[in-house]
Structure 1
Amino acid sequence: MTPAAPRGRDQQPISTVTWIHRDELRANDYNPNTQAPPEHDLLKVSLLEDGWTQPLLVRPDLEIIDGFHRFTLSADPQVYALTDGYVPCVIKQHATRADQMLATIRANRARGEHGVLRMADIVRDMVDAEGLTFQQIMDRCGMEKEEVTRLYDRGGMTERGTQGKTAFSQGWVPR
């Protein structure tokens, strides 16, 4: 039987956020998630501009279930200085190793992906309605100039690279 989450606001793990010094925490030995340098840099910008908005999920023995990349960045001198090295954590009680692995996979996979057309709408709105410059978007969203330009342009985005072609290449045909 699949265990159910606790019911009621006071019983939710988020109601028990506690600050734990990063030196007391440790990574698990199985996390399949990796983070490319641009996303790592963007996460740092997020922490420095937005602060800690999401706690790490840890076992009672302080092994990290979710939040390894935030934990890693907590060693960065600028991020460390925000809270003197303390990291917000939620302790998942009674987590077996299997429960822990399942929670890690769910957290990693549930984060979703950005749709390119919606991203284009947001970039255009940030420039046209909010007055941000391309450089501000590049710096604060971890984007290259070409990416911002293409998103802002949006015109023909779904048709790019298909000029003169009547069908997609065989690379797009499932076998």
Structure 2
Amino acid sequence: MKKIQANAYNPNKVAPPEMKLLYDSIKEDGYTQPIVCYHIKDKDVYEVVDGFHRYMIMKTYNDIYEREGDCLTVTTIDRPISDRMASTIRHNRARGSHDADLMSNIVAELVEMGKSGN
């Protein structure tokens, strides 16, 4: 888990009651989905594309951290930054809400990178 880091572009926010529900879910069922990451080879770290809040549960709750032995299951994607940003949006739209300002920033960045509104 020490090699996992957040990305700088995720516009998804989870309110405290939903974070508590996520904690309860992970406590009862374990991690049922891997964290989606991109491996930054030159730094040998894994940047979260999807699963930041699941990652934060382990960082925040010592009981989960100890039970999981400081390990998270991850799956990696090897895509350019614009595709990773789009992937984050797709994952978030399936289950969360977005901060409007952060969302407009990410859309502007995607437009600058030549992405269309798929």
- TM-score norm. by structure 1 comes to 0.50
* Paired letter, 1:81: E
| Aligned position for 2:62 | 77
Query: Which residues of 2 match residues 9-24 of structure 1 at below 5 A?
Result: 22-24=1-3
Residue of structure 2 aligned with 1:105, choices 82, 89, 92? 89
Q: Which one scores higher on RCO, CA 8 angstroms, separation ≥ 6?
A: 2
C-alpha separation between the residues in 1 aligned to 2:32 and 2:18? Answer: 17
| Aligned position for 1:88 | 73
Q: Confirm whether residue 29 of structure 1 aligns to residue 8 of structure 2.
A: yes
State the Cα deviation string for residues 36-94 of structure 1 (Å, max 9, x = none): 0000011000000001100000002210000000011111101101211101100102x
Identical-residue share of aligned pairs (%): 40
Q: Confirm whether residue 45 of structure 1 aligns to residue 45 of structure 2.
A: no
C-alpha separation between the residues in 2 aligned to 1:65 and 1:99? Answer: 10
State the Cα deviation string for residues 19-46 of structure 1 (Å, max 9, x = none): xxx2110000010000100000110000
Question: 5+ unaligned residues in a row in structure 2: which ranges?
Answer: 41-45, 98-118
C-alpha separation between the residues in 1 aligned to 2:89 and 2:2? Answer: 24
C-alpha separation between the residues in 2 aligned to 1:96 and 1:64? Answer: 14
Q: Which has the higher strand share?
A: 2
State the Cα deviation string for residues 80-135 of structure 1 (Å, max 9, x = none): 01211101100102x1000100000000002279xxxxxxxxxxxxxxxxxxxxxx
Go from structure 1 to structure 2 and tell me whether the alpha carbon gap of 1:42 and 1:33 turns closer, same or farther (over 3 Å shift): same
Residue of structure 1 aligned with 2:39, choices 60, 81, 84? 60
Q: What is the root-mean-square deviation in Å for CA atoms of aligned residues?
A: 1.4
C-alpha separation between the residues in 2 aligned to 1:42 and 1:33? Answer: 16
* Paired letter, 1:82: R
Question: 5+ unaligned residues in a row in structure 1: which ranges?
Answer: 1-21, 114-175
In 1, are the aligned partners of 2:13 and 2:96 still within 8 Å (CA)? Answer: no
Larger of the two Rg values belongs to structure: 1
Moved over 2 A (4+): none
